[in-house]
């Protein structure tokens, strides 16, 4: 995943798969979204830790993604990324080592890290070689602290490493974060609807 070509006022879309999905139907849903919208990268974000289940999901999603020249990374399982022919790894916790993932996967792989609302974790991940960091959720989910606009504004002003805004995205959040983030990480916001293509179009309307 590279830095946006259109500048920070036009963030790119980073698609997260559902935590569980049907291997017989999801590839067609994914293909429909990729054909209708410009997607920069896909994250295979399964809740399962079963390597066989992840491998089967990776096979079907990789085929859909790479046919359309879209990069695909796997959440956390750095050891599986290369073996499964994926483009890198997304570390879901700043406690996981970006440096170790980079060493294992090499300089050309995508390595990203979720950093919650922590400036320190974001800076540490960037210094360790992350291609991007992610802050979120952008709206409060339960007792979880939200990543506020000031965090994204500070990062945009101070740091060159691309930043992803993800978690609890709403139309209003997309609109006001658009000038100060590089990517929107979108997943459950669209997969929990009847029409993911239409839902993504509606959610990202402020970008057009």
| CATH code for the domain of 160 | 3.20.20.70
- Residues 127-150 have a mean pLDDT of 91
The answer to whether 195 and 175 are in contact (CB under 8 A) is: no
Please check whether residue 6 lies inside any domain of the structure. no
Identify the band that residue 1 occupies on the pLDDT scale cut at 50, 70 and 90: low
Please check whether residue 2 lies inside any domain of the structure. no
Please check whether residue 4 lies inside any domain of the structure. no
The per-residue pLDDT for 184 is: 98
Please check whether residue 183 lies inside any domain of the structure. yes
Please check whether residue 180 lies inside any domain of the structure. yes
Nearest to 184 by CA among 127, 125, 134: 134
Q: Look up residue 83 and give its two tokens.
A: 């073996």
The per-residue pLDDT for 208 is: 87
In the predicted structure, residue 4 carries a pLDDT above the cut 80: no
Q: How many domains does the chain have?
A: 1
In the predicted structure, residue 7 carries a pLDDT above the cut 60: no
Nearest to 9 by CA among 174, 200, 187: 174
- Residues 12-25 have a mean pLDDT of 97
pTM of the predicted model as reported, rounded to 2 decimal places: 0.93
Please check whether residue 65 lies inside any domain of the structure. yes
The per-residue pLDDT for 8 is: 47
Please check whether residue 55 lies inside any domain of the structure. yes
- Residues 169-180 have a mean pLDDT of 96
Give CA–CA dist 95/77, Å, rounded.
Answer: 14
Comparing 1-15, 79-93, 95-109, 174-188, which segment has the lowest mean pLDDT? 1-15
Write the pLDDT tens digit of every residue in 61-82.
999 999 999 999 999 999 999 9
Write the pLDDT tens digit of every residue in 144-159.
789 999 999 999 999 9
The per-residue pLDDT for 9 is: 60
Tell me the pairing of strands 110-114 and 163-166: unpaired
Whole domain around residue 106: which residue ranges? 12-207
Q: Which has more confidence, 6 or 118? A: 118
């Amino acid at each position: 995943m590279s830095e946006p070509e259109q500048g920070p006022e036009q963030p790119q879309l980073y698609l997260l798969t559902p935590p569980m999905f049907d291997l017989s139907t999801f590839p067609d849903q994914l293909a429909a979204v990729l054909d209708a919208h410009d997607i920069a990268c896909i994250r295979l974000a399964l809740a399962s830790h079963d390597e066989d289940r992840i491998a089967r999901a990776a096979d079907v999603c990789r085929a859909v993604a790479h046919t359309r020249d879209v990069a695909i990374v796997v959440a956390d399982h750095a050891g599986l990324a290369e073996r499964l022919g994926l483009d890198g790894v997304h570390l879901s916790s700043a406690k996981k080592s970006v440096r170790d993932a980079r060493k294992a996967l090499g300089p050309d792989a995508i390595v990203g890290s979720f950093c919650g609302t922590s400036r320190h974790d974001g800076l540490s991940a960037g210094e360790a070689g992350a291609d991007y960091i992610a802050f979120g959720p952008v709206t409060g989910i339960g007792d979880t602290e939200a990543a506020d606009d000031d965090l994204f504004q500070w990062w945009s002003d101070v740091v060159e490493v691309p930043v992803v805004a993800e978690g609890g995205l709403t139309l209003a959040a997309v609109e006001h974060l658009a000038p100060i983030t590089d990517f929107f990480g979108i997943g459950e916001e669209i997969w929990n609807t009847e029409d993911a293509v239409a839902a993504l179009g509606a959610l990202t309307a402020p970008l057009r």
